[in-house]
């Protein structure tokens, strides 16, 4: 064979090889990012209502994410949010699949995402309470009911959709004074979270405030409250509150039986370090029916329709 014929044959072979190889290379280049996107979509994400300052929440729930990742065998990520409403929105939009909600925010989320389930609540959440706290300058003292002298003072709730910082305190205020809080107090505000409520009442910015009992107890135990300036003057009757709620399509997305896995992981969260960060002594089973009283009060107050 002539040299020119050999060279022509080599060029033909190379051309055929490239025409068959390039599409394969292109396929590899395309499927790489697609595979990464698929893996990202399988990350299990959760959030929590921001009932305390963000730095404490990130510290507390990052540890929970690590625990859940080990128990569930999937990537788990904690997604912080800026408000109670943002937590419900993230759940509705499938930006998170699990959330640590208060009683009212849980009811709202489950209404928006049919099939979603309350899986577990803290042992303390079956009979939760709110504290009414007052600045010492008011002269108000602890008693079995809110005193008449509280009228015409200033008052702050926590977040507008907080069960323990607004919903149930307003319910009991209306029972006590037979009118809306705006008719009872000279000024009514919303602090945004329980830690802020404590700080505002301690500083005298508001005379009285409603706060989650567990946040108050933890703050006192850790020395973050000056009890010479602010004290508890009344404790509400009990009601159901916080719970873990999972989207109804979790099994479809993460595999059959995933809901049961999540429930088991939550109920078996017994590490004192994890539980102390809530703070809860442990988690017990929950279901949607337990929150019917919260739903009824919220409807009566016009907070949900």
Q: What confidence score (pLDDT) does residue 53 get?
A: 66
Q: Comparing 42-126+246-300 with 129-235, is the CATH topology the same?
A: yes
The residue extents of the domains of the chain are: 1-39, 42-126+246-300, 129-235
The class (CATH top level) of 42-126+246-300 is alpha beta
How much is the pLDDT for 266? Answer: 97
pLDDT at 58: 84
Right CATH number for 129-235 from 2.30.38.10, 3.30.2390.10, 3.40.190.10, 3.40.50.2000? Answer: 3.40.190.10
CB atoms within 10 A of CB 170: 18
pLDDT means over runs of 10, the chain (305 residues): 42 42 36 35 88 75 94 95 93 97 95 96 94 98 95 96 94 96 97 95 98 93 96 96 96 95 97 86 96 93 85
b or e along 45-75 (b: 16 or more beta carbons within 10 Å of the residue's beta carbon)?
bbbbbbbbeeeebeebbeebbebbbebbeee
pTM exceeds cut of 0.95: no
3-state secondary structure of 254: helix
The values of phi and psi at residue 27, to 5°, are: -65, -40
Contacts 24+ apart (CB under 8 A), 252-256: 253/42, 253/97, 254/42, 254/44, 254/74, 254/97
């Amino acid at each position: 064979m002539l040299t020119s014929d050999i060279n022509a044959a080599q060029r033909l072979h190379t051309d055929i090889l490239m025409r068959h190889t390039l599409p394969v290379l292109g396929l590899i280049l395309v499927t790489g990012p697609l595979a990464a996107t698929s893996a990202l979509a399988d990350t299990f994400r959760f959030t929590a209502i921001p009932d305390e300052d963000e730095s404490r929440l990130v510290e507390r729930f990052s540890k929970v994410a690590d625990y859940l990742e080990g128990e569930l065998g999937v990537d788990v990520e904690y997604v912080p949010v800026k408000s109670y409403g943002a937590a419900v929105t993230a759940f509705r939009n499938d930006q998170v699949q699990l959330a640590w909600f208060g009683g009212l925010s849980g009811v709202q989320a489950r209404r928006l995402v049919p099939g979603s389930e309350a899986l577990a609540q803290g042992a303390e959440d079956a009979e939760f309470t709110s504290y009414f706290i007052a600045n010492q300058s008011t002269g108000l003292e602890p008693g079995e009911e809110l005193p008449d002298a509280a009228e015409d003072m200033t008052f702050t709730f926590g977040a507008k959709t907080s069960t323990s910082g607004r919903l149930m305190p307003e319910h009991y205020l209306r029972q006590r004074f037979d009118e809306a809080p705006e008719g009872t107090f000279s000024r009514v505000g919303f602090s945004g979270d329980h830690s802020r409520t404590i700080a505002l009442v301690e500083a005298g910015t508001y005379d009285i405030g409603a706060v989650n009992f567990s946040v108050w107890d933890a703050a006192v135990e850790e020395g973050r409250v000056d009890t010479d300036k602010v004290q508890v003057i009344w404790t509400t009757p009990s009601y159901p509150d916080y719970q873990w709620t999972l989207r109804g399509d979790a099994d479809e997305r993460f595999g059959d039986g995933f809901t049961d896995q999540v429930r088991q992981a939550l109920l078996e969260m017994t590490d004192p370090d994890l539980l102390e960060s809530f703070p809860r002594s442990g988690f017990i089973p929950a279901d949607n029916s337990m929150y019917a009283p919260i739903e009824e009060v919220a409807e009566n107050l016009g907070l949900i329709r």
